[in-house]
Amino acid sequence: MNQLDFKGRHAVVTGGATGLGFAIAKRLIDSGGSVTLWDRDAAGGARAAAELGAKFTQVDVADAASVQNAVKQAPRIDALVNSAGITGPNTKLWDYPVDAWRQVMDVNLTGLFLCCREVVPVMRAAGYGRIVNIASVAGKDGNPNASAYSASKAAVIAITKSLGKELADTNIRVNCVTPAAVKTAIFDQMTPEHIAFMLSKIPMGRFGTPEEIAAMVGWLCTEDCSFSTGAVFDLSGGRSTY
């Protein structure tokens, strides 16, 4: 494992109790930093924090007051990784439940917006920050039977580009990554058919690992990431190289 330099820095990782968020938090801690996990799962978040040696705050990212309160509790925020997300059901758009559509948008899009909205002023006051948003190749390509997820991740890419430009004259960098499917607990929300479809689209013929995603995200959280902002970094095993 290459050594990243995150010494003396503190990150907030949303959705940090499991999956990509947990792996990213571990990579940042292994790189010399400290982390606060934000997750709505109180028991899971506490277990993850104890295992990592991190802090934990129970947060519903889709609730503005919850996010505001969490920011007030944070000791400092040098980096924000927006990893919290849900897939929603795998079904045709014309059969998609309206409540499920709203839930996906609330977590994946509005939640990310609220976290950025509250954290950016903290970073601006400090004169430094790194924001990394977890998007998806679905936001580039549009996966069938996943219209809400695909739309929400396309919006994450767009917000990354917009906010990156808004903050380009500061020392805050905003980037996103677009992983192909990574085998985590989020697979439990998908049908076997949808999982097989995603695998069939990856030229490498395998799913990514959380550690591979964490390696790129970890670098984007460091000071070395100084001239990239509003950028989209491919992590798709060759699927979406644009």
- Report CA-CA distances (Å) from 6 to 34, 79, 241: 9, 10, 28
Which candidate, 48, 10, 58, 62, places its Cα nearest to that of 31? Answer: 10
Q: Which residues is 82 bridged to in the sheet? A: 133
Closest among 74, 8, 20 to 210, alpha carbons compared: 20
The answer to whether residue 128 is catalytic is no
Mutual orientation of helices 42-52 and 19-30 as an angle, nearest 10°?
30
Residue 187 in tokens = 């697979």
Which residues make Cβ contacts (< 8 Å) with residue 202, sequence separation at least 6? 180, 181, 236, 237, 238, 239
Terminal-to-terminal C-alpha distance of the chain: 27
Cβ atoms within 10 Å, residue 179: 26
Do strands 10-14 and 79-82 pair parallel, antiparallel, or not at all (unpaired)?
Answer: parallel
Active site residues: 149
